[in-house]
Amino acid sequence: MSVLLEAEDVRKSYGATRALDGVSLRVHAGEFVSIIGPNGAGKTTLVNVLTGLATPTSGHVRFKGVDVAGAGPVRLARLGMARSFQLVTIFPALTVADTLAVAALSRLRQAARPFATRARDAEVRAAVEEVAELFGLADKLGRPARTLPQGDKKLLDVASAFALRPDMILMDEPTSGVSTADKTAIMDTLVRAAERIGTRAIVQVEHDMDIVFAYSRRIVALHQGRVLADATPDAIRADARVVSTVLGIAATPARTQP
């Protein structure tokens, strides 16, 4: 499998506080990777560094072999990396269609005059309708985003990132604040959408361990800014150190194939 994203010996400090302390990881095409850890482990800081929102104090971040440390989300989107940004929270008055159109226009490099071009741009309309259909939002395109149920707001946040048609998507708590049933529906929807759109890898930060173990191919456990483990779900379950430090429960044996 080809390497899409690579972090090498990444450190990030905020004054005297070291949020990341020598983190290295690789994400390959075809992987679904979950980043887990207790509060303060450095999860969100790592995602911010990987997506160019924060510049590492030292170390390297490469996407498709290109050094992207501190590149910012716009440049990364053009290279094929997207991140869900909770646009419903940022722009609550926008309709579902307009929220998706902002992302689609960004992909088409027409973001300077988004609403002047959207109405007459058949390509943008087609992109909006395609993504809305994938995420079950086709009948809600005219609704203000703030009026959606919480589960649909989460879907819209993720859908806006998928509207960029990325090779890789990174998500920070994509299922937070919704019911257990909605969490599973959201995850099933985004996995299907990734397959349809051609997204080659997914990285998420997630606290819900049921979701983590159900969908991940690999799990990266952080603790105090360092990688405690980087392994398959079964290996993580069987690692007593990781389970006690990160999950706070007793380790369980790895499942064996019948």
The answer on 235 and 110 residing in a single domain is no
The answer on 68 and 104 residing in a single domain is no
The answer on 91 and 45 residing in a single domain is no
Residue 70 covered by a domain: yes
Residue 70's pLDDT is what? 86
pLDDT band at 18 (very low <50, low <70, confident <90, very high): very high
Q: pLDDT digits over 81-127, tens only?
A: 998 866 667 678 899 999 998 888 777 664 445 555 544 578 888 88
Q: Are 215 and 187 in contact (CB under 8 A)?
A: yes
- DSSP at 119: T
Residue 131 DSSP SS3: helix
Residue 193 covered by a domain: no
Residue 103's pLDDT is what? 82
Residue 118's pLDDT is what? 47
Residue 216 covered by a domain: yes
Q: Are 99 and 160 in contact (CB under 8 A)?
A: yes
Residue 114 lies in domain: 84-165
The answer on 46 and 146 residing in a single domain is no
Comparison of pLDDT for 139 and 117, the residue scoring more: 139
The answer on 94 and 41 residing in a single domain is no
Cα distance between residue 88 and residue 73, in whole Å: 18
For residue 257, the surrounding DSSP H or E stretch is none
| Residue entry with tokens 């946040």 | 157
For 25, phi then psi, to 5°, come to -160, 160
pLDDT band at 1 (very low <50, low <70, confident <90, very high): low
Residue 184's pLDDT is what? 92
CATH of the domain at 11: 3.40.50.300
The answer on 252 and 136 residing in a single domain is no
The answer on 108 and 123 residing in a single domain is yes
Mean pLDDT of the chain: 87
The answer on 150 and 109 residing in a single domain is yes
If you count them, how many residues does the chain have? 258
Residue 191, sorted as left (phi over 0), alpha (psi -120 to 50) or beta, turns out to be alpha
Residue 115's pLDDT is what? 57
Q: How many domains does the chain have?
A: 2
The answer on 60 and 102 residing in a single domain is no
Cα distance between residue 169 and residue 201, in whole Å: 7
**% of the chain beyond a pLDDT of 90:** 60
The answer on 170 and 68 residing in a single domain is yes
For residue 223, the surrounding DSSP H or E stretch is strand 218-223
Residue 116's pLDDT is what? 55
The answer on 170 and 48 residing in a single domain is yes
Hey, what are 31's tokens? 């992987």
The answer on 142 and 73 residing in a single domain is no
Residue 44 covered by a domain: yes
Residue 37 covered by a domain: yes
What pTM does this model have? Answer: 0.86
Residue 238 DSSP SS3: helix
SS (H, E, C) 46-95: HHHHHCCCCCCCEEEEEECCEECCCCCHHHHHHHCEEECCCHHHHCCCCE
